[in-house]
Amino acid sequence: MELDERKLKILQAIIKNYLETGEPVGSRTISKYTDLNLSSATIRNEMADLEELGYILQPHTSAGRVPSDKGYRLYVDNMMREKENLIIKKEIEISDKEKEVEELKEFLVEKVDKVETLLQNMAKMLATNTNYATMVSVPKSQGKRLKFIQLSAVDSDKILCVMVLEGNIIKNKLLDIDEELDNETILKLNILFNSSLNGLTLEEINLGIIAKMKGQAGEQLELTKKVIDAVAEAMSTEEDLKIYTSGTTNIFKYPELSDSSKASDIINTFEEKQLLTSLINKEDDEQGGIQIYIGNETPIHTMKDCSVVTATYELEDGLKGTIGIIGPKRMDYEKVVETIKTAKVQLDSLYKKRPSSSDDYDMTLDDSNEE
Amino acid sequence: MELDERKLKILQAIIKNYLETGEPVGSRTISKYTDLNLSSATIRNEMADLEELGYILQPHTSAGRVPSDKGYRLYVDNMMREKENLIIKKEIEISDKEKEVEELKEFLVEKVDKVETLLQNMAKMLATNTNYATMVSVPKSQGKRLKFIQLSAVDSDKILCVMVLEGNIIKNKLLDIDEELDNETILKLNILFNSSLNGLTLEEINLGIIAKMKGQAGEQLELTKKVIDAVAEAMSTEEDLKIYTSGTTNIFKYPELSDSSKASDIINTFEEKQLLTSLINKEDDEQGGIQIYIGNETPIHTMKDCSVVTATYELEDGLKGTIGIIGPKRMDYEKVVETIKTAKVQLDSLYKKRPSSSDDYDMTLDDSNEE
DNA sequence: GTTAGCACTCGAAAAGAATGAGTGCTAATT
DNA sequence: AATTAGCACTCATTCTTTTCGAGTGCTAAC
């Protein structure tokens, strides 16, 4: 049996209708809904075929049909892509979109001077706009080069070690010392560290370099070891994960997700944010960096009744993060894809287009002055 | 009508039983449950009195009785305090508790080198131990003095401004500059800022001091202004709120909270963490810093069906935060109070008792190297 | 003051009945 | 050969009815 034009139309009608109502849709509904002018009986026959092909399901005998994961997949891959082509053709829509981007940007950037806060607001905004749950991951500093390192005496028994990585990621570490150091020693150490380590990635800081540094450390061997540890910690990827979530309680708006055990599982996944890591960093850039996972396709088992749409954004070169929108399988894919694209474009362009005159906000990913 | 000894005993029995079962308790249950040796009929009469006095409620005629908020309050105030006195008397129990503290401390401190992570783990541990939802607020840096400030040239067009506040709270800010500065200028500015601002609180940095600094800034007036802004931002209390939550999905374990609209409200409150602020910073130090809010007593309306137990802890002098446990009104108050006390003691003693030899972790509240 | 006894209440659970949306199949129609 | 009208059948949902029993309040006796 083949999936001919007519079956496709019927399938599309079923899915459209189901997205709107959330109820299983019957043959009579479709016979009225479409412009095919077919009787319900014919539709019924076609539906039986579609079911056999695996695109739709019957929750039980004598109920209407519901799209299967395979059905959604077809819908998303084919029918939505048509829409996308349309957009590319229509210049008007593009400028509309740009306008939207500008508006969003203004909203977001206004009074916000930290990327982290901005991302957090982005998550919140997406959640409010879409009525789904959202996540935004903060770009990882993994693999970045060390740009700057400096020790400063803060206390008689404490040394502050500040490191700046590529992308202006700032890291701090306070080190205990046994005896107070004079300025000259600190200066000497700063020169040592900067000349030895600057411009290197974590991988490039090898034993040879470390040994050489230790050799030059003189009396400050202990401190040097601590600094090297601090650098390693700052540049390593461990616990290097920050994800903002928002709108998790939106799932209660969808009955198919709001029974307490399902809801609990899903919300728990959002609370234990590290469970969301499998959603980020999928480097597949097909379709302009947008991924759509339907039902069991999601890498997270607790979300088997959900669909997930993600996009990868890039703040500055190499600083990549992920935006995700999570809703029921019958989510409004078109709207979600549109929204997430807009958000992606916005974040991508944030620093490229940023007017250089505005020095009100800084671009670091550091958030140490939130506390 | 008076609340005599016997009524009190019956009330206590009702509450105890209700805490265990979560079901309305009837007269027959109590007549067997207590050592009073009274018939169910007598209990019934007493119960009618207790209801008239407002300590218990009947969900409907022909149901058993359920404690009212007033009943819980009495229970918590009186019956639990007796228990507390017992503990003070029993030396054994104290040493037991100390042992527990040590165990917890080891668990928490192990492999943890940041206070923030530690507090986050603390929230998680409390949630796992109690099966309730928990929150831990991070101490605010508000009102702290500036201990150290330093500018460093990072880029040709960027200056890094590092500030350290009392309590070793580190804050960073990257400033844009128009033209590159030579080392000498930076050194001069550093001396200026340190000598002008160190040891001051935000309030003490008044217009006079600012004017004087501006006067000495020379050609670097613009940069000086930016630094002053950065200092103000770093030391101000705005957006100075960080709360970790955990175990929010535990509320699904209690049917009286898990219908979707209630659960949604509660979980939303935990997601929008600023809604929890009203729970922190209540300075009332009655009862060793432990507060108990029952039902409508909680300052947060969405939690009217919950009880909240909070404690204030103090890391270093003046660095105060709040721990909170949120559960159903029929929570196990004794256990929760015990647990939260232990946690409080633990946090309080964390830095006082800390062995000076261990330099593995730093004490800053800064978390900039999480990302 | 306490208790046994009894009629009564009322929610929860089980059982039954009505409804109706939707199906599959067959036979007639185009 | 494809389409459609017609009809018997299915089954979740909803509403009503019944049953059940835990628990009460009250009265009269101890």
Provide DSSP, B328-363: ETT--HHHHHHHHHHHHHHHHHHTTS--TT--SS--
B233 touches chain A (CB under 8 A): yes
The reported pLDDT for the residue numbered A196 is 92
Give strand letter and number of the nucleotide nearest A38 (CA to C1'): D3
Residue B246 pLDDT exceeds 70: yes
Q: Which tokens belong to A49?
A: 């075929």
CA of A256 to C1' of D4 (A): 36
Q: Are B263 and B302 in contact (CB under 8 A)?
A: no
User: What's the confidence (pLDDT) of residue A143?
Assistant: 78
CA A111/CA B268 separation, integer angstroms = 25
Phi/psi for B199 (5° steps) reads: 85, 0
Q: How many CB atoms lie within 10 A of CB A82?
A: 8
Q: Which one-letter amino acid corresponds to residue B46?
A: E
pLDDT confidence tier of residue A177, bands split at 50, 70 and 90: confident
For residue B230, pLDDT over 70 is answered with yes
Q: Which two tokens stand for residue A306?
A: 């959900």
Percentages (nearest 5) of helix, strand, coil residues in chain B: 55, 15, 30
A246: how many CB neighbours lie within 10 A of its CB? 23
Residues linked to residue A37 through DSSP beta bridges, in sequence order: none
The two structure tokens encoding residue A72: 């959604």
Residue in chain B closest to A359 (alpha carbons) equals: B176
Place of tokens 């009203």: B278
Does B141 lie at the interface with A, CB-CB under 8 angstroms? yes
Asked whether the beta carbons of residue B170 and residue A174 sit closer than 8 angstroms, the reply is yes
Cβ separation of B371 and A138 shorter than 8 Å? Answer: yes
Nearest neighbour of A370 by CB, restricted to B162, B242, B258: B242
pTM: predicted TM-score of the whole model, two decimal places: 0.86
**Is B360 near chain A, with CB under 8 Å?**
no
CB B151 within 8 A of CB B161: yes
Higher pLDDT residue, B328 or B2? B328
CB atoms within 10 A of CB B78: 12
Give the pLDDT confidence score for residue A365 in this predicted structure: 46
* DSSP states of B116-139: HHHHHHHHHHHHHHHSSEEEEEPP
Lowest-confidence pick of A110-114, A220-224, B236-240, B259-263 = A110-114
Tens digit of each residue's pLDDT (9 = 90 or more) over A324-354: 999 999 999 999 999 999 999 888 887 665 4
Q: B286-293: long-range contacts (C-beta < 8 A, 24 or more apart)?
A: B288/B341, B289/B313, B289/B344, B290/B337, B290/B340, B290/B341, B290/B344, B292/B76, B292/B333, B292/B337
| Tokens describing residue A182 | 């004079």
Signed CA dihedral, A173, A174, A180, A184: sign only: positive
Query: What pLDDT was estimated at residue B326?
Result: 98
A62 CA to C24 C1' distance (Å)? 10
Give the closest residue to D3 (Cα–C1′).
Answer: A42
| Mean pLDDT estimate for chain A | 85
Distance CA(B187)–CA(B194), nearest Å, equals: 11
Q: What's residue A136's pLDDT?
A: 97
Query: Nearest C-alpha of chain B: how many angstroms from A204?
Result: 20
- The gap from C-alpha B329 to its chain's centroid, in whole angstroms, comes to 19
Residue of A165, A318, A133 whose CA lies nearest to A243: A133
Q: Quick check: B342 and B87 in contact, CB under 8 A? A: no
Of B147, B174, B369, the CB nearest to A364: B174
Instruction: For residue range A83-132, list pLDDT tens digits in order.
Output: 655 554 444 455 555 666 565 555 554 434 578 888 999 999 999 999 99
State yes or no: pLDDT of B112 exceeds 50.
Answer: no
Tell me, what DSSP letter sits at residue B296? Answer: G
* pLDDT value at residue A66: 97
> How far is it, in rounded angstroms, from Cα A277 to Cα A283?
13
Average pLDDT of every residue of chain B: 85
Q: Please, how many CA atoms are within 13 Å of residue A339, restricted to the half-sphere of its CB?
A: 24
Q: Rounded CA gap, A261 and B333, in Å? A: 26
Is B189 a residue whose pLDDT tops 50? Answer: yes
In tens, the pLDDT along B114-160 reads 788 889 999 999 999 999 999 999 987 777 889 999 999 988 888 99
Residue A148: its chain B contacts at CB < 8 A? 152, 154, 160
- Distance in Å, residue B61 CA to nucleotide C7 C1': 15
Helix (H) or strand (E) holding A122: helix A115-130
What pLDDT shows up at residue B366?
Answer: 46
Tell me which amino acid residue B1 is. M
Residue type, A120: Q
Strands A290-294 and B158-165, sheet pairing: unpaired
Q: Which of B242, B258, B363 shows the shortest C-beta gap to A371?
A: B242
Of A240, A268, A369, the CB nearest to B234: A369
**Cβ partners under 8 Å of residue A136, min gap 6:** A119, A120, A122, A123, A126, A243, A244, A245, A321, A322, A323, A324
Instruction: Calculate the angstrom distance between C1' of D2 and CA of A17.
Output: 26
Q: How far apart are CA A369 and CA B317, in angstroms?
A: 20
Question: pLDDT at position B20, please?
Answer: 92
Q: Are A66 and A58 in contact (CB under 8 A)?
A: yes
Quote the radius of gyration of chain B (alpha carbons, Å).
27
Query: Can you tell me the distance from the alpha carbon of A78 to that of A292, in angstroms, rounded to the nearest whole number?
Result: 13
Please report which helix (H) or strand (E) contains residue A88, including its range.
Answer: helix A80-89
Q: Rounded to an integer, what distance in angstroms lies between the CA atom of residue B232 and that of residue A38?
A: 72
Cβ(A216)–Cβ(A208) under 8 Å? no
Nucleotides of strand C lying closer than 7 angstroms to a protein CB = 2-5, 8-11, 20-26
Strand D protein footprint, C-beta under 7 A: A 37-39, 41-42, 45, 59-63; B 23-29, 40-41, 44, 47-48, 51, 58, 61-65
List the Cα angle B182/B172/B362 in 5-degree steps. Answer: 120
Q: Which helix (H) or strand (E) holds A185?
A: helix A183-197
B363 pLDDT more than 50: no
- Strand, coil or helix: what is B309? strand
Q: Is A171 a residue whose pLDDT tops 50?
A: yes
Q: Give yes or no for residue B353 having a pLDDT over 60.
A: no
For residue A166, the model assigns a pLDDT of 84
Q: What is the pLDDT of residues B278-326, one digit of tens each?
A: 998 666 556 578 999 999 999 999 999 999 999 999 887 678 899 999 9
What is residue B65's DSSP assignment? B
Nearest CA to CA, how far is A112 from chain B (Å)? 11
pLDDT class for B247, splitting at 50, 70, 90? very high
Q: Using the predicted structure, report yes or no on whether residue B110 has a pLDDT greater than 60.
A: no
Lowest mean pLDDT among A6-15, A104-113, A318-327: A104-113
Q: Name residues 15-34 of chain A with a Cβ under 7 Å from nucleic strand C.
A: 23-29
CB burial class (10 A; 0-12, 13-18, 19+) of residue A344? Answer: buried
> How confident is the model over A54-67, as a mean pLDDT?
94
pLDDT attached to residue A98? 63
Short-list A317, A369, A169, A138, CA closest to B154: A169
The token pair that represents B347 in the structure block = 């946090």
Is the pLDDT at B93 greater than 80, yes or no? no
Of B259 and A239, the one with more pLDDT:
B259
The C1' atom of C17 and the CA atom of A64 lie apart, in whole Å, by 24
- What per-residue confidence (pLDDT) applies to A369? 38
